[in-house]
Chains A and B, each alone.
Chain A
Amino acid sequence: MDFGSFLATPEIKVKVITYRDIFQDKAMIENRFGEGYRNLSAVIKLDPVDLKQLNVKKGDTVILKNSFGRIVVKVDESGYETPHRGIAYMPKSPWSNMLVSDETGGTGIPKFKDISVTITSAKGEKITEIEF
């Protein structure tokens, strides 16, 4: 068991894989400031064992944090049959982009698919707004 799970508020480290979702894209076309788009975007999907370790359940909010940003999103179970502890999934959105590094090595290409974060329970804190 990771050291993080002995903390008062359990904390785990995950790699985040982003992806596109047709339902989310449809919601974005309809209203990118609407609740529908937010519900389908501000979410992270975890392995059920990782959920348990964080002591959170489906629908709770969690804090995702790294040196580039801190956001609060809802947590969900991934639904994948194969266990994937330490790997989490997020639809590509302004929320996931708050966690992407500004390091590009001068290539012009950010590391969109190379995101690592720590997760803890947000204890009811509200989902982060995307407005600047």
Chain B
Amino acid sequence: MEKNYHVCTGCSLLCDDIEVEAEKNKINKVHTACRIGVAHMKAGKEEAIFRVDNKPVDEATAISEAAAILKNAKNPMIFGLGASTNEAQKIAIELAKKINATLDDTSSFCLGSLVEALISEKIKTCTLDDVRNKADVIIFWGTDPSDSHPRHLSKYSYFPRGSEKQRGWEEERTAIAIDVRKSHTAKICGNYFFQIPPKGDAEFIDALIAGLSGKLPKTSYNYPPKKILELANILKGAKFGVIFVGRGLIYSLENLEPLFRLMKALNEKANFHLMPMVGNYNTMGFNENLFAETGYVNSVKFENGTVLHGPEYSIVESLKERTVDAALIVGSDPFSILPRSIVKNLLEIPVISIDPYETLTSRNSKVYINTAISGVEAGGSATRMDGKKVSFEPAIETNHPSDETILKKIMEAL
């Protein structure tokens, strides 16, 4: 019997082995997905919602109001798009060019610097399929995929059999967690959990590099040198090592230089790859699409055919310095995910929210357009956390417009 598999867009793993049971365009059962994936696949709503000033309107009114806001703005911003398809992202980039907008996504305050280093080939990376088939030493550093990317360990990084790892985790893989707290992933790593103090990562990297060349590893927080030497020895023996990097590590470092040094030291002794644990299902796609267009992964401003780039064009600095005077926010909830001390400034400008979910941002927007959930109610393509392209069809039919459709209509209305 031929099975009809769907893609889960609940996180950047883009699991492509999902089966659903639906009745009257409502998904009742989801097979194979994780806890987050099941909730995500079932999240489709019945009615499409369009609001202006918190009052229900029709689609055409919401589109023309959104276009008017963007037309009247001197310095509009477009933000989000990590939960949009590649097709929608490309339209948003065109729209940003057309209206001379600042354009940014969550990667500017998450893992964007690391993604840019990977796209620019400054760090060796690999695919998740390589990890499943070949990886023997796996490090989770400042990341807890058991909670954030729940099928990461079972589908790719630790538990599965792979073409060159037929005896799997029991004998052929070593999983290591380095973190400030004993996460669920750290528990799975057992004795290979290395708990370090907050902000202790850079020193731990230096100590590990010392350990890799047989020197005595020292830290100001007196981490037992014997344990660091033991870790260095495991890493030296890796035939296919991979470090999965989360925000816990990136937020702890002043810049990426210690990580570059560690990768260099590891690759002098062994074979190591690195992969950022990006969160949203198509953040990687946004970073790639913007890089292809501008040479930057985030924080840009288009100005009459030229591209300006720098942290001053990030969402955080744009709001802090009040440099933007309108915001189009696609599939993101800055009112929830940014510090309130900064995001409160967003209340001072007109906001257009395009989102499948009712959020703090949708509730504080002048225009709200409730769109289809891509992968569940709309099709398209996206880029998995390791750069692999994944296409998907909608699992159910819906009367919700996709964000791609809405962005096109706003563009036309301009």
Q: Interface residue tally of chain B, by bracket?
A: 35 or more
1/0 per residue B36-75: CB within 8 Å of A? 1011100100000000000000000000000000000000
Report the minimum CB–CB distance from B46 to chain A (whole Å). 15
Q: Which segment of A1-9, A26-34, A48-56, A57-65 sits at the interface? A: A26-34
In the complex, residue of chain A having the shortest beta-carbon distance to the beta carbon of B180: A17
Interface string of B81-98 (1 = CB under 8 A from A): 000000000000000000
Q: Is the CB of B311 within 8 A of A107?
A: yes
Q: What mask results when residues 77 to 109 of chain A are scored 1 for a CB within 8 Å of chain B, else 0?
A: 000101000010100011001101110101111
Q: Is the CB of B36 within 8 A of A132?
A: no
State whether the Cβ of B357 lies closer than 8 Å to any Cβ in chain A. Answer: yes
Indicate which residue in A17, A69, A82 contacts B340 across the interface (CB closer than 8 Å): A69
Which B residues are in CB contact (< 8 Å) with A93?
336
Contact A20 B148 (CB under 8 A): yes
Q: Is the interface of A mostly helix, strand, loop or mixed?
A: loop
- Select one of B35, B38, B357, B364 contacting A132, CB under 8 A: B364
Q: How far is the CA of A106 from the CA of B318 in the complex (A)?
A: 10
Q: Evaluate contact between A113 and B251: CB separation under 8 angstroms.
A: yes
Return the contact of B312 from the options A97, A106, A110, A114 (Cβ within 8 A).
A106
Tell me whether A20 and B147 are in contact in the complex, defined as CB-CB below 8 angstroms, given that A29-B39, A110-B339 are known contacts: yes
List chain A residues, Cβ under 8 A from B339.
68, 97-98, 100-102, 110, 112
Contacts of A82 in B (CB 8 A): 182, 195
Q: Hey, which chain B residues are within 8 Å of A89, CB to CB?
A: 181
Which of B320, B335, B344, B364 interacts with A104 by CB under 8 Å? B320
- Contact B181–A23 (Cβ < 8 Å): no
Say yes or no: B247 contacts A112, CB within 8 Å. yes
A108 to B339, CA, bound (A): 12
A29-B43, A109-B251, A109-B316 known; A19+B36 contact, CB < 8 A: no
Contact A102-B311, Cβ < 8 Å, known A22-B146, A22-B147, A23-B35: no
C-alpha gap A94/B363 in the complex (Å): 14
Contact B36 A29 (CB under 8 A): yes
Whether B108 pairs with A108 at a CB distance below 8 angstroms is yes
Compute how far the CA of A106 lies from the CA of B320 in the bound complex, rounded to whole angstroms.
9
Contact B342 A19 (CB under 8 A): no
Q: A32-B336, A108-B314 are contacts. A69–B360 as well, Cβ < 8 Å? A: no
Q: Point out the residues of chain A lying under 8 angstroms from B344, CB to CB.
A: 132
Chain A hits for B315, CB < 8 A: 108
User: What is the CA–CA distance of A130 and B312 in the complex, to the nearest angstrom?
Assistant: 28
B35 touches A19 (CB 8 A): no
Binding site for B on A (CB under 8 A): 15, 17, 19-23, 25-26, 29-30, 32-33, 68-69, 80, 82, 87, 89, 93-94, 97-98, 100-102, 104, 106-114, 130-132
> Which residues in B have some Cβ–Cβ distance to A below 8 Å?
10, 34-36, 38-40, 43, 108-109, 144, 146-148, 150, 180-184, 195, 198-199, 247-248, 251-252, 299, 311-312, 314-317, 320, 333, 335-344, 347, 357-360, 363-364
Beyond A94-B336, A97-B338, A106-B312, 4 additional contacts (C-beta under 8 Å) are: A19-B147, A22-B148, A108-B314, A113-B251
